Amino acid sequence: MRIQRTTNEITSEWLTTALRANDRLGTAEVQAVSVELIGQGRGFAGSIVRLTVRYAGDTDAPSTMVSKLPSIDPEIRRYAVKDGMYRRETMFYRELAQDSTIIVPDCYYAEHDSVTGDFVLLLEDLTDLQEGNEIVGCSLDQARSVVQSLAQLHATWWNSKQLSRHSWLPGTGDSSASFSALQDRYREAWNRAADTLALIFPRSTFAIAERFGRGLASVLQAAATGDQTLNHGDTHLGNLFFRDNEVVFTDWQNVMATSPTLDVAYFIQGSLPVEGRRTHERALLDLYASTLEANGVTNYTSDNLIEDYRRGLLRTLVPSVLSVANLDMDSPETRELVQTIGARMIAIADWDCGDLISG
């Protein structure tokens, strides 16, 4: 079945075939479909649209759904294809989502073309839920829900040999060469973005981030030697939706196998205002540890957790530096977001994460 590359190619006939491919339609057919662009300013690597669907015949298929397609920007699309983002998200929904033990959008169709790099997802429409706001931050109750959900995800895949069966999943076959390649990418991005980052990062964080370019590979190597589990890889509030006491995790383009607490460090640092984070951080880490234990992880010491957490905080510099080097900083919305998150990255200095960098 041909993968649609643009929203203009989403027709009634194509949608009928896609939904039938996963037994989502029954004997009915799509009579009409309208397309609405959503997620402007989000979905950096993809185009996100809401489909409103009218059916002919009886069906339980939803009247609205969200479709995710490659970015219309050729440079962004090229980067996402090369990095494997589209393949990872497609394969997550096809092979791991049902066993993730946390709430993710229902997936009606997922396909990826390994030759062209194109992909298409048809997902549950979550627009009636409360979307996380990165600039405002989240409440403490919401933070607790996210941390508990992440602990459940991590416990499910804790040192699981099954992860190595998914060759598309980063972390299952990484080598020193791949760590060195990422270090080179970081240093190249740093050279392009350092002047901007000097205005965004707190001074103490900037100094650590500059040194990190010389020791990133060794930090990644250390992270690969301890306990390993499945991480979402991009747990910022823009990828989270809240419904009462539940949280739904979207955007799995950066899913990976790596050391525990990368997700937790990314979320806590980026989602809580600095003073709120400093006040509640230890309690949230205790909640993470107790939820792991309640879900069967019994050999993870507090010292291990803190070391992994500090290393996770340090690793949040990678997406931050690479993003600033590639984003349009002339956009007021982008600049506000980057400045807000950048200021919260004082956590890296609060925890003396520079001590983890060799050299």
Taking the chain (359 residues) in runs of 10, the rounded mean pLDDT of each run is 75 94 92 87 75 95 95 87 94 96 96 92 96 95 98 97 93 84 96 96 98 96 94 96 94 95 97 97 98 96 97 97 84 89 98 92
Question: In which region does residue 113 sit, left (phi positive, over 0), alpha (psi from -120 to 50) or beta (all else)?
Answer: beta
Q: What token pair was written down for 326?
A: 């590639």
Backbone angles phi, psi at 287, to 5 degrees: -65, -40
Q: How many CB atoms lie within 10 A of CB 162?
A: 11
Residue 1 pLDDT: 63
Residues of the chain with CATH 3.90.1200.10: 130-356
Cβ(295)–Cβ(152) under 8 Å?
Answer: yes
Residues of the chain with CATH 3.30.200.20: 7-124
Cβ(171)–Cβ(159) under 8 Å?
Answer: no
For the entire predicted model, the pTM comes to 0.94
- Residue 262 burial (C-beta neighbours within 10 Å; 0-12, 13-18, 19+): buried
Distance CA 83, CA 224 (A): 20
Distance CA 81, CA 316 (A): 22
Fold of 7-124: Phosphorylase Kinase; domain 1 (3.30.200)
Assign domain 130-356 to its CATH architecture: Alpha-Beta Complex (3.90)
Q: What token pair was written down for 180?
A: 């060195």
